[in-house]
Amino acid sequence: LSSLPFYTEQIVAHYLRQITDGIRFLHEYGIVHKNLKPENILLSSVQPEAIIKITDAGLDSFILEDMDMELVCCNTIYCPPELLLSRKFDKTFDLWSLGIILYIMLSGSDPFHPKIDEDLFRAILLGEIPYTGEAWDQVSLNGKDAVKRWLVVDPKQRALTSDMLQHPWVSGSHATTEHLVISQNRLTEFNARRVAMVSV
């Protein structure tokens, strides 16, 4: 996304709809992806109308809803608060991850950077999500609302994928066409940090 010639809320909403619909399909069959992150979301091409493909390291990463897991392998910043407190989780796990991904798509950075260790865990548990700064100044109220519908500490209060597909911003009707230049630049930096971490 960082290489697109023009980066707008409309484009982000277009891709977000595809991701959300894919997760909705999994949830209808009682499957929790539980490892949603940018690395597992691919574009079929570099064109703005590219099709999203949701992938994972292996089929063993997909689990059935309500399973009690000894260990869940996922990047901490995409893990919901309840996972840090208990091994029990359901499809609302993916809803939090979707919120983090949308946050990154709109602002170009994850909400917890540069926190680590105890500070990171505390921020996740308390739902300390900032919506301030230059990048967020460019984002519409409807765009912010879409993120906030998912990044709720109480999993029961997170919007379901079927509901979010009807959200005016996610549907595209209330997504703006302004070029999110700051967010796109920061997204390039975010991707560079990810690559650097993998190469270490």
Mean pLDDT for the chain overall: 88
The reported pLDDT for the residue numbered 133 is: 95
Query: Please, which residues have CB within 8 angstroms of residue 107's CB and are 6 or more apart in sequence?
Result: 133, 135, 136, 139, 183, 186
Which residues make beta-bridge pairs with 68? 88
The reported pLDDT for the residue numbered 136 is: 98
The reported pLDDT for the residue numbered 4 is: 82
Residue 34 · residue 95 · CB < 8 Å: no
Kindly report whether the peptide bond that precedes residue 155 is cis, defined as omega within 30 degrees of 0: no
Domains along the sequence of the chain with CATH: 9-199 (1.10.510.10)
**Residue ranges of the chain with pLDDT lower than 50?**
57-61, 69-71
The reported pLDDT for the residue numbered 28 is: 94
The reported pLDDT for the residue numbered 71 is: 46
Angle at 153 between CA 13 and CA 182, to 5 degrees: 40
The reported pLDDT for the residue numbered 156 is: 96
- Short-list 119, 80, 120, CA closest to 101: 80
- For residue 175, CA distances in Å to 43, 109, 171, 200 come to 21, 20, 8, 38
The reported pLDDT for the residue numbered 158 is: 98
